[in-house]
Structure 1
Amino acid sequence: MVSNSCDASTYYSSLSSDDLDGTNTGVALQATLQALLESTHANVIPYTSTATDCWNALEVLDKDPASETDVILIYKLTPEPFSTQGVSSGWNREHVWPKSYGVGYDGPDTSDLHSLRAADWSVNSCRSNRYYAECDAEAAGGGDCTSPAHAEAADGTQKQSFSGELGRFAPPPSVRGDLARSIFYMAARYDGGETDTTDLSITDCPCLSTNTMGLLSDLLQVRSEWV
């Protein structure tokens, strides 16, 4: 997303007082935010290109502050050299909002950098398209909780499968707020009005066929931890 100013008050200056003070809520507020986000998303970076693409962007956005040649992997929280991108023993591009939940393989949502993170190849495969939520021992049809979610994943990660669906994945606690914010952004940003996009929403009943991600209650829980 490109804006003429990084100042929040300037960016949101087009919103009305009712939008800012909580008078407008729900569908009305989401429509206003969606229009603003779409209008400022002028520079769509290609997912893969011989020119600048998402690989290049992630080398900047997820760069290790302690290194000029490494990224920090989102679910592993360890550095990895830029040079191992796309290699099965290295890192790849994780869609925070999975492609199978409505992002697909084309359109601005596929390469939206608010929903892409550098991730360890194996841990990314472990997450697959599981929605974000902690394990629930009481859930019907739920399998055992694995923590950490993968041998290479950071402490505090969790994975749980369910009968008939892939199930839940809990990221490392220190990045849950960042990932929740990414999910909320995608739901506000995409309403299916643009070519090759779908209407994205968040719920406590995630469903692949309706492009509804989750788990809303868990995402709201970490919202208070944003800084």
Structure 2
Amino acid sequence: MSDESLSFWERLGRIPAHSLRAQLLYISALVAVATVINLLLALVMRSWIPVATAVVGWLFVGVYGLVRLSLFDRAAGVAGSVLVPSGGSTPSVAQHSNIQALVARGEYAHAAEAYREVMARDPQDLLACEQLGQLALRELKDYPLAVAAYREAEKRSTEPRRQLGYAVLVAGICRDNLKDYGKAMVELRRILARYPDAPNAQRLRAEIDELKALHFEAQ
């Protein structure tokens, strides 16, 4: 969710509490300096006006602090209810959060297995395919698994542009990671046959010609 679509309360709820306290400390420091100056002026001028000014300044700090911190508490509650849906209403979000926690702890194999289970339970879950592909490619270095995950993502997606993107990822893994130039050519030909209007079709044809040379050199 972009910040533009958030209400005032939700945007305010995203401000860290320590930032608000830092503002209060900064304002308090300014008022403290002003208070010292006003007290010196009061001694020189023998007037109560500088003292009154100092009192007003500290009243401002107190009111400002109460208002801002109360707004923060209220906003945090509102934003929490809006931005963090309950697990019961959106179980997929909770599942992915748990798996991301495994990834953060470096439990990549367990995370991959968890993604597989989510994909098996929910044939509509495209995010699980994407995340498994990234995990296999970047962390596990299990390139066949990455290919399988992105192939599944291509099958599940209903958007031609995204389907094309997944297919190109598969071809790239075959070429760059598996170093299987023959398979990469097969994938690129499949892409051109299935997506003849692809915006990068000319580049893909040139890629096939380049791969032919690499394939023959490798034999």
Structure with higher RCO (Cα < 8 A, 6+ apart): 1
TM-score by length of 2: 0.24
Q: Give the structure with the higher percent strand.
A: 1
Q: Give the structure with the higher percent helix.
A: 2
TM-score by length of 1: 0.23
- When Rg is computed on C-alpha atoms for both structures, the one with the higher figure is 2
